[in-house]
Amino acid sequence: MNMTVDEILKQQILSREDVIALLQTDKEGRNKVFTHAAKIKADYVGKKVYYRGLVEMSNICSKNCYYCGIRLDNTNAERYDISDKEILDAVKFAYESNYGSVVLQAGEISSPKFTKRISKLLKQIKELSNNELGITISLGEQPEEVYREWFEAGAHRYLLRIESSNPDLYYKLHPKNQKHDFETRLDCLRSLQKVGYQTGTGVMIGLPFQTYEDLANDLFFMRDFDIDMCGMGPYIEHKDTPLYEYSDLLMPIEDRFTLTLKMVSLLRIIMKDINIAAATALQAIDPIGREKAIKVGANIIMPNVTPGMYRDSYKLYENKPCTDEEAADCTNCMEMRIGITGDDIGYGEWGDSKHFAKRTQHQS
Ligand code: 5AD
Ligand code: SF4
Ligand code: FES
């Protein structure tokens, strides 16, 4: 006989079948999963949200992911590359607003010049903040020695989404060539762990060709890889990309949204002490999308601190929120938003992954 949602949630360990069943629950079942995840979050990481001020440094990218609005071949994307001074000003704003950490994100570029530029910026960020700001970087696939150089320069967390842990699906989302190799992506994630980063990954949810089984496998992939952080969000089609052609295969956008909340809550249940980000893409679908994710397990939010004039150009998907705002607008707005969730804001704290602390303690 099939187990009820309550029975499934009572178990210590969820099987693949359990997760697949929970991903497909109706409203009543879903709410039970959400409540259970909220309790685990409160027990293991506390009802607290940490800020990562996000600087979208540049939308210049050397890759051609089929889903992404800033892919190399999209000639409609207006390219920008923010000056170091503007980046440091944005970082200073985050520091002065007591955000605790920043994230540097850009399209994927790999060159000695870029490596040096980032190293210099990382050192400058540490300097301007008296070593107080935590730094996450999200700069794609790089050789291990580059990861090491950046780690030594001051970055201590790295985000690199696997996008999908199913290689067949991965190659429906990326060209099958050396530049978009699934195994390379895995090697990069391993290098990041080896160098000593708090390592984050994540997937897109509601992709064409993606099954519930794929999503369950993604969650187990993250568990087996022993990741410290996760950022995952709904897939939102972009008309200037090749994947747009398969839009008729998509589930309605509201369902992709709900499925993302289910993934967040299930990941919280499976990996109790990791950091989970409330993806900005959720806000593109629902005006209080990120807050809903915080309610069901997420504990990290990335307020955008990119100078306003560039925000509209970093368009990975349509309807990106906060593109008409300046950083200061988001600060006030965000404080009110988190207030609604009932969580506290970890002002001035790094809010490192508790999972990472445990993982490295065991090793030493
Ligand atoms: N919809 C949702 N997320 C997207 N990303 C890129 N394009 C899209 C899209 N169309 C995500 C990818 C990438 C991150 C920077 O943005 O997961 O890793
Ligand atoms: Fe470049 Fe990242 Fe977009 Fe791929 S997803 S095209 S690597 S910015
Ligand atoms: Fe950016 Fe509300 S969070 S305007």
Which atom in ligand 3 lies closest to the alpha carbon of residue 304?
Answer: 1
Which atom in ligand 3 lies closest to the alpha carbon of residue 325?
Answer: 4
> Which of 60, 67, 105, 173 for a ligand 1 pocket mutation test, highest count of atoms within 8 Å of Cβ?
67
Cβ(41)–Cβ(293) below 8 Å: no
Identify the pLDDT of residue 337: 94
- Does residue 128 have its Cβ closer than 6 Å to ligand 3? no
Identify the pLDDT of residue 1: 59
Distance CA 133, CA 283 (A): 26
Domains of the chain: 15-363 (3.20.20.70)
Identify the pLDDT of residue 128: 97
Closest residue by Cα to atom 3, ligand 3, is 330
332-361 pLDDT, tens digit per residue, is 899 999 999 999 999 999 999 999 999 887
Which atom in ligand 3 lies closest to the alpha carbon of residue 333?
Answer: 2
- Does residue 330 have its Cβ closer than 6 Å to ligand 3? yes
Identify the pLDDT of residue 360: 86
The 3-state DSSP class for residue 27 equals helix
Identify the pLDDT of residue 2: 82
Closest residue by Cα to atom 4, ligand 3, is 330
Identify the pLDDT of residue 277: 98
- Does residue 278 have its Cβ closer than 6 Å to ligand 3? no
Q: Whose CA is closest to 51, among 5, 95, 15?
A: 95
Identify the pLDDT of residue 363: 59
- The answer to whether the predicted template modeling score (pTM) of the entire model surpasses 0.75 is yes
Identify the pLDDT of residue 291: 97
Closest residue by Cα to atom 1, ligand 3, is 330
- Does residue 54 have its Cβ closer than 6 Å to ligand 3? no
- Does residue 61 have its Cβ closer than 6 Å to ligand 1? no
Q: How far is the CA of 145 from the centre of ligand 2 (A)?
A: 22
Which atom in ligand 3 lies closest to the alpha carbon of residue 330?
Answer: 1
**Which residues, given as ranges, of the chain have pLDDT below 70?**
1, 362-364
What's the chain's average pLDDT?
96
Closest residue by Cα to atom 7, ligand 1, is 68
- Does residue 236 have its Cβ closer than 6 Å to ligand 1? yes
Distance CA 94, CA 306 (A): 10
- Ligand having the closest approach to the CA of 324: 3
Q: Which residues contact 40 (CB under 8 A, 6 or more apart)?
A: 268, 269, 272, 297
Hey, how many other C-beta atoms are within 10 angstroms of the C-beta on 292? 20
Across the strands, what pairs with 136? 103, 157
- Does residue 34 have its Cβ closer than 6 Å to ligand 1? no
Identify the pLDDT of residue 274: 98
